[in-house]
Amino acid sequence: MIELLNVKKVFNPGTVNENVAIKGISLKINQYDFITVIGSNGAGKSTMLNLISGSYIPDVGSIFINDKDVSKYPNYQRASYIGQVFQDPLSGTAGSLTIEENLAIALKRGKKRGLGLGVKGADREFFREKLSQLGLGLENRLKDRVGLLSGGQRQAVTLLMATMVKPEILLLDEHTAALDPKTAAKIIELTEYFVNEYRLTVLMVTHNMRQALSLGNRTIMMHEGEIILDISSPERDQLEVKDLLEMFARVRGEDIVDDKLLLA
């Protein structure tokens, strides 16, 4: 279980560029939750994910993973709990290393790394089996450099790497946004497969409203660093895309009023 308690994050504090990215949010992510996160640009979605992953350390508030306070842990110390897939398909893998070497790095997530051989003979069989689950034929290309793969293939490998050691939570930051529609559909299919296969807890940022409602069991809407909607099944099942759009319009409308007041 992951819990955010009154978490706040300010960028460039005390300067003209001061930006309150997260205003003080509390969120309880239950085990096996699959939460989709929506919100306009600058709403704080990615910042929230980065706070959970440890890429950012909160200014105020605490983050608990399985009742352990990890607020001050840098990301590499939290990595044993967290699997991550980024928006940029190049971010999750090292292009100059081979597929098997990338997988070997992922296999040691949260474990001590020593001077043993990185890729052992026994690992290869395991890697082949895992890669065949992707259905991309990568199981025959263990010694190919990852840089030779397409964006979609790299994202699929990243997904595999994020889940190979079961994480407490899988963080997906618009992980299909940079892919063509067909590849994006394939990655979503794989995401659902891995989530069901390993019974994962997921937090997924998306810009696709339909995806936000069709995937998972719970949806969060963020706006200006706050969570303005948190709805779970079965109530969520009643919601339609146009309802979400209406809600967006409403919060944006308030923005316009604010702007008018400012400009008047």
Partner 1 sequence: MSYYALLGALEQGLVYGIMSLGVYITFRVLDFPDLSVDGTFPLGASIAAILITNNFNPYLASLFALLAGAFAGIITGVLNTKLKILNLLSGILVMIALYSVNIRIMGQPNTALLGYDTVFTPFENFFGLERFVIAPIFFVFVIVILVIFVVWFLHTDIGLSMRATGDNPKMVRAQGVNDKFMVILGLAFSNGLVALSGSFVAQSQGSADVNMGIGTIVAGLASVILGEAFLEGRSVFRAVVSVIIGSTIYRLAIAVALSFKIGNFQLNPSDLNLITAFIVTFALISPNIKKFIRVRS
Q: What angle do CA 223, 224, 228 make, to 5 degrees?
A: 35
In the range 35-64, which residues lie near partner 1 by CB under 8 A? 53, 55
Stretch that binds partner 1, among 28-36, 78-86, 192-200, 228-236 (CB under 8 A): 78-86
Q: Tell me, what DSSP letter sits at residue 199?
A: T
Minimum separation from the CB atom of position 151 to partner 1 (A): 15
Q: Which of 15, 17, 41, 117 binds partner 1 (CB under 8 A)?
A: 117
Looking at the Cβ atoms of 131 and 209, the one nearer to partner 1 is 131
d(CA 17, CA 50): 20
Query: By C-beta, is 179 or 221 nearer to partner 1?
Result: 179
CB proximity list for 32: less than 8 A, separation 6 or greater: 199, 200, 201
Q: Identify the residue among 16, 115, 261, 263 touching partner 1 (CB under 8 A).
A: 115
Tokens of 250: 């409403």
Total site size for partner 1, rule CB under 8 A = 38
Q: Which amino acid is residue 91, in one-letter code?
A: S
In order of 44, 116, 202, 205, the CA distances from 245 in angstroms are 18, 54, 23, 16
Cα of first residue to Cα of last residue in the chain, in angstroms, is: 48
> Exactly one of 25, 35, 157, 161 binds partner 1 (CB under 8 A); which one?
161
- Other beta carbons within 10 angstroms of residue 34's beta carbon come to 22
Which member of 35, 119, 220, 244 binds partner 1 (CB under 8 A)? 119
Judged by CB under 8 A, does residue 113 bind partner 1? Answer: yes
Does residue 114 touch partner 1 according to CB under 8 A? yes
Residue ranges binding partner 1 (CB under 8 A): 53, 55, 74-77, 79-80, 82, 84, 86, 90-97, 101-102, 104-106, 108-111, 113-119, 145, 161-162
